[in-house]
Structure 1
Amino acid sequence: MENTITTAQALARALSEAGVQRIFGLPGGGSSLDVIEAAAQLGIDFVLTKSENAAVMMAGAMAETTGIPGVAIMTKGPGVANGANGVAYASLDRAPVLVISDGFTPKQLSYITHQVFNQKDMLAPVVKGFSRLEGTDPVAEINAMLALAASAPFGPVHIELTSEAAKRLVPALMVKTKPSEPDAFSPENFSAVKQLLGQAQRPVLIVGLEARQSAQQVRQLAQLLACPVLPTYKAKGVVSDEDPQVVGVFTGGLQEAECIAQSDLMVLVGLDPVEMILQPWRYGKAVCEIASVEHLVHYVQADARVTGSLDAILGQLNAALLDYQSGWQPSQWSDIRTEVQEKLAYPPVKFGVAPDRVVQLAARACADKKILPRMSVDAGAHMFSATAFFPSTRPGDALISNGLASMAFALPAAIACALDDPTQAVMCFTGDGGLMMCMGELCTAVETQAKIVVVVFNDSALSLIDIKQQSRQLPTRGVRWGRHDFAGAMQALGGLGFSVHNEIEYTQALKTALDANGPCLIDVQIDSSGYSHQLKAMRG
């Protein structure tokens, strides 16, 4: 029939219409092959990863960078099981991702037990929706899944597609869903927030991940309030780190306490409680909140809260604040920023390169070569320096798993970011532990010639856990390993690898790596003795 296409083709067409340019994954022998081929016919590339976990992380990072839904493909059974951690990342880090897996038909399940488990139930706690595209209108199901993933709070959806369903014929005419209207907000709640803000003389602006799609409005609000700004890790760049109003990062810890102590109102904009550390709310200040959705579990009950379209709320709020007079002086922003950075400075090291200097020298090398500063950072002690000392000037240019705080994230995320914009290098800051969990993706970087500079903080330990073990005065067990040659491994895989032991060697390696046309790895010897100092300064 000339006016029909397969469900796989309909899915590929919907992805193309949504702006998807590449799919990540490891295919099985079923429907994934149909989807990959249908997508290729529409110019959508397929990136073959080395694990399903990395595939979902790449898809999520791509979504965080571009705002376009990410797509990850995997086989049934072990593919879904291996991808589950990545799906949990997409859920807790609010990344809109379509997770497409192979599936079994009812007939197959009547006699097959090999690789069979309930994939829907396994992923149900960490996905927003599920479909097998077997209803009367699979096109509508596809559009509904895309819309659900991209509705606040963003997150993954699961499409389990059998070979039979993938080959099913559907009408070729695509019926696109109408763009959803911006979420309306309560005038009464808006007035309460506006009144609280109008009465404040020294507010502090806390910017969270939901604000990444409203950077222009948030920057205008910061200018009108003329107050200190504290972005979360995932909101770095919403207000440029080069703006003097940005005085640090907000985690719910100790480092921001002095700034908040000088304020009379905390203004939360797009803050998702999933971004905060596992400590009770410590700030005895009035709070007003502007959020996309209401978070039923939260660290604090705001004195005034309005939820809905951030663009709409902030646009109206900014218009009402044109005559606002701030009680802050610019010199006070500067003093707070200087104090925060001094407290986070790493103590003198006995060998190797201090972690803060690793990051500062990387930022300087990017600036010297006029490279836009983009980074991914893994979970671990090194992230204290990376998030504090590497500047982000645009939303989405700092990629980190903060909600799940998963290791093995930085390398896949950097690859995705580099493929999105191959003209400039992406800095990838990772601990040795996190890298060892995903070293196969170095092969992916080499195969795709992703322009990334992987900086390995090589301290031969799970340093953050090591610190906690020491703080409990327990013997050292299960947190340290021997020193490994990551530079040699990178060279063996076909990339450039450098092993450095001091700042001079590191600086030279950075220059060479940033000039390269493919992936490079710099293995930096780290003295981990100062991490406990940074942890105390950050979190108390």
Structure 2
Amino acid sequence: PTRVIDDHDRTDASAVADLLRLVAAATRPVIVVGAGAAVASPAEREAIAATLSVIGGTSHVPILCTYKARGMVADNDPWCAGVATGATIEAPVLSAADLIIGIGLDPVEFIPAAWPYAAPVVLVGSWAISRDDYAHAEHLGAEVAAEVVGSLVELTASIGSLLQTSQGSWSVGDGQRFRAEALSRLLSATVPSSNGLTPQQVVTIASAAAPRGAIATADAGAHMLVAMPLWEVDGPEQVLNSSGYATMGFALPAAIAAALARPGTPVVCFTGDGGLGIVLGELETLARLGLPVVVVVFNDATLSLIAVKQNAEGHGGEGAVTYGGSDFAVVARGCGLAAERVDTVADYDRAIRAALASGAPTLLDVVVDPSSYPAILNAVRG
């Protein structure tokens, strides 16, 4: 493979030539936008997003975004193909590609798993990817045909110019078709139950209730598998998670930070009961600051993602991953927040709409049935 480890001011001519040759020859390229694009300066990010919009609108190339890059293309754009995780949810679109173009993509954004796609990969970014980083995605390194480090704005524009004139075979709406099929599989990954809400319902109801431009934060855990794909976005920085080597306890501090950075913008904090327990004292911080944050607790009294993984491998036991149920609404009221415990769709829909309308810091302790998580994990990660 042709690779260049370089700084922001230099690119290797042979790597650039390989990159442009592969892009020009592709008939079914797919773009994966990563963290490098999302963390660029606002002006650079806007320029990259504008180029992606032109690419999608003219050549109909499906565009995936990693969790960190969600919003670099809007969810309702015809070329938006959904999320890229390094796992199953994006497999149909990447399997159909004859070239995978990573724009600001860092392998650490993917879960550690084998890279199953035959199409060559080209990467452009503002920092170089080391062999150790490739190892995170196991076999991705073997598929990288060219890596170029330089101005992400200029490199994306060069790729866009080629794609607009190449003879691709994608049709209008192919990206959105892939996304709709992936979301359908995720939404149908449920087990009927009368014991609380499904994880999908918690996110879709909140997303429908929130005003345009509202921000969501998602903690590490099983609920992240539904929160990240199902929260609707139309721009960057509208859904935040720790990603990579994911850290529990991220969502509440991130929600507080988001509300401080974007005064007046409603924020929905999706957290599991385990993650909230790690940062429980920050409820007092939220109440004291009076920020417009609605904390939505997926309360199933279980470390659900760990439970699903260890049960599948025959390890652990219920005593290792379950605990006595906590009433987080009582705790939140003790910290000075408005709070309510809900266990039906109707009550949750009413409560979250009221909380968002109030603009006051609020906690909703949502009783969630965890029995759908194995099917959800299969739909997202396989």
In the alignment, the residues of structure 1 paired with residue 111 and residue 46 of structure 2 have an alpha-carbon distance, to the nearest angstrom, of: 24
1:241 to 54, 75, 80: 75
Cα deviation, residue 399, structure 1? 1.2
Question: Where in structure 1 are there 5+ consecutive unaligned residues?
Answer: 1-152, 154-180
Q: Which residue matches 1:203?
A: 29
- The answer for the alignment partner of 1:358 in structure 2 is 202
C-alpha distance in structure 2 between counterparts of 1:397 and 1:527, whole Å: 27
Q: 1:469 to 1:321 in 2, by over 3 A?
A: closer
2:157, 2:284 → 1: CA distance? 46
Contact 1:219 1:238 in 2 (8 A): no
Q: Does 1:255 align with 2:99?
A: no
Instruction: Write the deviation string for residues 87-129 of structure 1: whole angstroms up to 9, x where unpaired.
Output: xxxxxxxxxxxxxxxxxxxxxxxxxxxxxxxxxxxxxxxxxxx
Runs of 4+ in 1 over 3 A off after TM superposition: 319-322
One-letter amino acid matched to 2:98: D
Once residues 246 and 335 of structure 1 are traced to their aligned partners in structure 2, the CA distance between those partners, rounded to angstroms, is 9
1:517 and 2:347 are equivalent in the alignment: no
- What is the alpha-carbon distance in structure 1 between the residues aligned to residue 158 and residue 176 of structure 2? 29
In 2: Cα distance, 1:216 partner to 1:354 partner: 39
Equivalent pairs counted in the alignment come to: 359
SS of 2:375's equivalent? helix
Cα deviation code 1:226-271 (max 9, x no counterpart): 2111111111111122222222211111111111111111111111
- Equivalent-residue separation in structure 2 for 1:320 and 1:283 (angstroms): 23
Match of 1:193 in 2: 19
- Pick the aligned partner of 1:278 from 112, 135, 139: 112
CA contact (8 A) 1:202 1:227 kept: yes
Structure 1 equivalent of residue 268 of structure 2: 427
Could you say what secondary structure the match of 2:340 adopts?
A: strand
C-alpha displacement of 1:320:
4.2
Q: CA deviation at 1:215?
A: 4.4
Q: Which residue of 2 aligns with 1:389?
A: 230
1:215/1:250 Cα in 2 relative to 1: closer, same or farther (>3 Å)? farther
Assess if the C-alpha contact under 8 Å between 1:189 and 1:305 holds in 2. yes
Could you tell me which residue of structure 2 aligns to residue 216 of structure 1?
A: 47
Aligned-partner SS, 2:100: strand
1:331 Cα shift?
A: 4.2
Whole-Å Cα distance in 1 between the matches of residues 49 and 120 of structure 2?
Answer: 20
Distance of aligned partners of 1:422 and 1:349 in 2 relative to their CA distance in 1, 3 Å threshold: farther
Deviation at 1:328, TM superposition (A): 0.8
**Partner of residue 401, structure 1:** 242
Q: Percent identity?
A: 36
**Separation in 2, partners of 1:312, 1:306:** 11
Deviation at 1:469, TM superposition (A): 2.1
> Is 1:318 aligned with 2:160?
yes
Q: Does 1:487 align with 2:329?
A: yes
2:89–2:380 CA contact under 8 A, matched in 1: yes
Most deviating of 433-442 and 272-281: 272-281
Q: Bigger CA drift: 310-319 or 299-308?
A: 310-319
TM-score of the two chains, using structure 2 as the length reference = 0.89
Structure with the bigger RCO (C-alpha within 8 Å, sep 6+) is: 2
Distance apart, 1:383 and its partner CA: 0.5
* Structure 1 position 526, deviation (Å): 0.4
Do structure 1's residue 463 and structure 2's residue 289 form an aligned pair? no
Whole-Å separation in 1 of the counterparts to 2:12 and 2:310: 48
- The Cα of 1:455 is off from its aligned counterpart by 0.5
| One-letter identity of the residue aligned with 1:533 | A
Paired residues of 2:78 and 2:174 also in contact (CA < 8 A): no
Q: Which amino acid in structure 1 is aligned with residue 60 of structure 2?
A: A
Superimposed CA distance per residue, residues 439-498 of structure 1 (whole angstroms, 9 cap, x where no aligned partner): 100111111111111100000000001111211234323100111111111111111101
2:255 aligned residue: 414
Find out whether 1:304 has 2:146 as its counterpart: yes
**Match in the other structure for 2:3:** none
- Pairwise CA distance, 1:416: 0.3
Q: Which amino acid in structure 2 is aligned with residue 395 of structure 1?
A: P
Offset, 1:273: 1.3
Matched letter for residue 145 of structure 2: D
SS at match of 1:204: strand
Residue 101 of structure 1 corresponds to none
Shift of 1:537: 1.5
Q: Output the amino acid matched with 2:108.
A: V
Q: What residue in structure 1 maps to residue 292 of structure 2?
A: 451
In 1, the alpha carbon distance for the partners of 2:267 and 2:248 equals 18
Shift of 1:218: 4.2
Question: Do 1:218 and 1:314's aligned partners in 2 also have CA atoms closer than 8 Å?
Answer: no
Q: Mean alpha-carbon deviation: is it higher for 325-334 or for 460-469? A: 325-334
Q: Deviations over 1:337-376 (max 9, x none)?
A: 222112112313332111111111111101xxx3413111
- Deviation, 1:319, is 3.6
CA-CA distance at 1:508 after TM superposition: 0.7
**Cα distance in 1 for residues equivalent to 2:160 and 2:309:** 44
Distance 1:438 1:276, change over 3 A: same
Paired AA for residue 305 in structure 2: L
Q: Alpha carbon RMSD of aligned pairs, Å? A: 1.9
| Residues in 2 aligned to 1:373 and 1:451: alpha-carbon distance in whole angstroms | 10
Cα separation, 2, equivalents of 1:317 and 1:511 = 43
Q: Which has the larger radius of gyration?
A: 1
